[in-house]
Chains A and B, each alone.
Chain A
Amino acid sequence: MYELAIIGGGPAAVAAGVYAGRKQIKTVLITEGFGGQSLVSNDIQNWIGDLNISGIELAKKMEAHVRSQQTVDIKDFELVKTIQKINDGPPVGHFLITTEAGETFESKTVLFTTGSRRRRLGVPGEDEFDGRGVVFCSTCDAPLFRDKIVAIVGGGNAGLEAVVDSIPYASQIYLIIRGNELKGDAITQEKVKTHPKVKILFNTEITKINGEKFLTSIDLVNSQTKETSNLDVGGVFVEIGAVPNSEPVKDLVELNKGREIVVDHKTQLSSQVGLWAAGDVSDVLFKQNNISAGDAVKAILSIYDYLHRNQLTGAHQ
């Protein structure tokens, strides 16, 4: 049995793995892959210690750092399906973790750092044309829309960066914003607002995605005037935020309305004794790589204290 199972492979998981290694906590880290959501970012400029770094470079550095920890076993290419609490005696029982592939792990504590995934539009045609014009990775797929008209949905940093990714390829770009203002960084806003290829549609929402073999058009509604329209486009890039990957623990811990795990922000402990959470899957206010890493460190120091206080470490057995 492990003393700690870390679930996830983003900055929170890796920071936790490094600290767990240094505390010599017998740990298993289970992840689909390393890097977290920033993996698809071309240029991260706010990771402390690097002036700028790509998502893939950062992922490689993080993976190497956690792999260097001797007490941490890494199980990658594994997705956790369920976590169950086994109440098998004092002081607090333990956890049974089952992966999609059917592998199981037992651990005395869990640190859950699975982050979040892209929010979808939830309109007719989105699923049907996913991969056939609907895009969730603009850095990957923007070059496939050369000389096409595309619509990009979302006025935050991800939406603005998708516009920047598309400028070299698309013939025209409609940036579709639900509200009446852009929210991303001012420096990127300026680039987007002033580019001749870009037209911003404020107070606008997509109501339907149409096509045959591939996506050909979208239906729109103006939320203020209620006026409807149809726009011919070859692609729709969806960049409208994220939803937390909290499903495997939804019956174990308290979630807020946004499906985030509610934690004590001093320790990162959830409502379930023995289960901590950090990073974007938790109810942290600001979703940032540096904050995720720091919160995970808080969690490990709290877990270390918990293991010793309850005499759950190998040294006590």
Chain B
Amino acid sequence: MIVADKKPIEEIIEEVKDYTSILIAGCNECVTVCEAGGKKEVGVLASALRMYFMNQGKDVKIDEVTLERQCDHEYLEEIRNNIDQYDAVLSLACGVGVQFMAEKYFNKPILPGVNTCFLGVTEERGVWTERCQACGQCILASTGGICPVSRCAKRLLNGPCGGSSSGKCEINPDLDCAWQLIVDRLKELDRLDDYEKLTPIKDWSTDRAGGPRKVVREDVKL
């Protein structure tokens, strides 16, 4: 899922301090799981902002809504009828949702309430780590399900560098060496001969390095 982190409330206050009617829009998917922008966080932020403005002596209307997702037309349309009563929308969705909402409601300021971080997993409650960098050419079949593009600090594709020691990375000693993990897993799967196969030079044109990307599926387009 997309992992995001809450923005410090001081930063959010700076973003919204001049508006008199704000809608806080949460998202029921990834940001709910990483406890940054779901219904609960919307409620907490709304309460905090109400108190802040009350303390400043300002009369600010703050409403709450949590949409199923903010990356699909249907769900964003749900606020079409009442968005005009607000000066601004504070969206707690990931960067995707904030932008899509901004495209849809072109004349309304849409402000971000979370910092979008990476594609990752919940290792335990409160700890999220990166797993995928969306390079567009998945090679997990030959690396035993562990990605060297996202988990190796050097993005090496054919084995560890000389700095791998005791299973840890030389760049960041807190990181596991991805290639150590890959070899361990291939051993477990009894597929160590996959390790011997050379991965050719990667086609990075499908990575973000080539610019914003697009996927078109002619077989599903109506």
A pairs with B? no
